[in-house]
Amino acid sequence: MAEAAATTIERPEFVRPVETKAYGVVQKPLTAWEKIYDSGTARKTFLLVVMAVAWELYARWLASPLLFPTFGATVKAFWDAIADGVLPHRAWFSIKVLLQGYAIGLVLAALLTAFATATRIGADLLETLTSMFNPLPSIALLPLALIWFGLGNGSLIFVLIHSVLWSVALNTHTGFKAVSQTLRMVGRNYGLTGPRYIVKILMPAAFPSILTGLKIGWAFAWRTLIAAELVFGVSSGSGGLGWYIYENKNQLEIPAVFAGLFTVIIIGLVVENLIFRRIEMRTIRRWGMQT
């Protein structure tokens, strides 16, 4: 046996022309069913419909609209609140505060990261501050904020800044540090230095990481804001979504509470799936920096 295995088997050589045409199926359209099943949106829509039906059935069986309103009642409360302009008004109030906090947080993060990029002590400062404050839930600062800034937007913005600043600064800083030596040398080869080097080389090169920071910052900020508004939300007679939920709970308008929660979810989804997804498609996916 061993001898047989040790000798190679003689075979004739051959060369054959490769056909360039007529190779049968190279591309064939998928069936309609295959296409629908392949679409993530279709599958998820299906799941949402199933959940809505389950909700409706359970709520009817429970028959206790105070504890658990039906899906239909919630949708109706949602439409009514939109139609009379209360919900959009409250949502806009929340978003306005959020955008202010987010913007100030970004500016501070940019300053901190620039300082960290320029000097070693700056990098140490950033690393120390982020490792101290990043694990601290922003909402825990709310009592302190209330003492410093009083009831009102000032306190909200303060906790929002806290929830945005550290994640953005940390991710940007880590992203900068991970930029390849080759790209750095390319940038310096063109004579780029200082702010121009940061803006034109480091920022785009670290963009995947920066975007992650922006997304995490947004998610923290949104959750923090709603939570803070639940604790206190009125200032000058108006309040945001969190306050809307709280108010309606006190008046036992439970479908409206659900409608408020619904709005919080929808705004979160829109920002995460439309805005950030779009930015991602146009930048890092287009550039092949993330698959």
Partner 1 sequence: MPAPSTHKPLLQVRGVTLQYKTREHLVTATYRVDFEVYRADRFVMLGPSGCGKSTLLKAVGGYMEPTEGEMRLNDEVIRKPGADRMMVFQEFDQLLPWKTVRENVMFALTSSGRLKGKAAEDKAMQYIEKVNLTKFADSFPHMLSGGMKQRVAIARGMAMEPEILLMDEPFAALDALTRRKMQEELLQLWNDTRFTVLFVTHSIPEAVLLGNRILLLSPHPGQVKAELNSDGTDRTLSDGKVLSEHIQDMLFADAIEEESTHG
Nearest alpha-carbon partner for 82 in 91, 72, 70: 91
Task: Give the number of residues in contact with partner 1, rule: CB under 8 A.
Answer: 21
**Piece of the chain touching partner 1 by CB under 8 A; list 98-106, 120-128, 194-202, 241-249:** 194-202
Binding status of residue 286 toward partner 1 by CB under 8 A? yes
Binding status of residue 279 toward partner 1 by CB under 8 A? no
Neighbours of 263 (CB within 10 A): 21
Binding status of residue 199 toward partner 1 by CB under 8 A? no
Long-range Cβ contacts of 134-141 (<8 Å, 24+ apart): 134/166, 134/167, 134/170, 136/162, 137/224, 138/162, 138/163, 138/220, 138/224, 139/224, 139/227, 139/228
Binding status of residue 191 toward partner 1 by CB under 8 A? yes
Binding status of residue 35 toward partner 1 by CB under 8 A? no
Binding status of residue 288 toward partner 1 by CB under 8 A? yes
Nearest CB to partner 1, comparing residues 44 and 282: 282
CB of 289 to partner 1, least distance (A): 5
* DSSP-assigned letters across all residues of 174-220: HHHHTS-HHHHHHHHHTT--HHHHIIIIIHHHTHHHHHHHHHHHHHH
CB of 207 to partner 1, least distance (A): 7
Binding status of residue 122 toward partner 1 by CB under 8 A? no
Q: Which of residues 49-68 bind partner 1 (CB under 8 A)?
A: none
Nearest CB to partner 1, comparing residues 44 and 188: 188
Torsions phi, psi for 238 (to 5 deg)? -130, 155
The mark string for 124-163 relative to partner 1 (x by CB under 8 A, - otherwise) is ----------------------------------------
* Neighbouring residues of 228: CB distance < 8 A, sequence distance ≥ 6: 139, 142, 155, 156, 159, 242
* Residue 12, both tokens: 């004739």
- Pick one of 192, 230, 231, 271: the residue that binds partner 1 (CB under 8 A): 192
Binding status of residue 200 toward partner 1 by CB under 8 A? yes
Query: Helix, strand or coil for residue 235?
Result: strand
> Measured between alpha carbons, how far is 38 from 33 in angstroms, rounded to an integer?
8
Residues that bind partner 1 in the complex, under the rule CB under 8 A: 180, 182-183, 185-186, 188-192, 196, 200-201, 204-205, 207, 283, 286-289
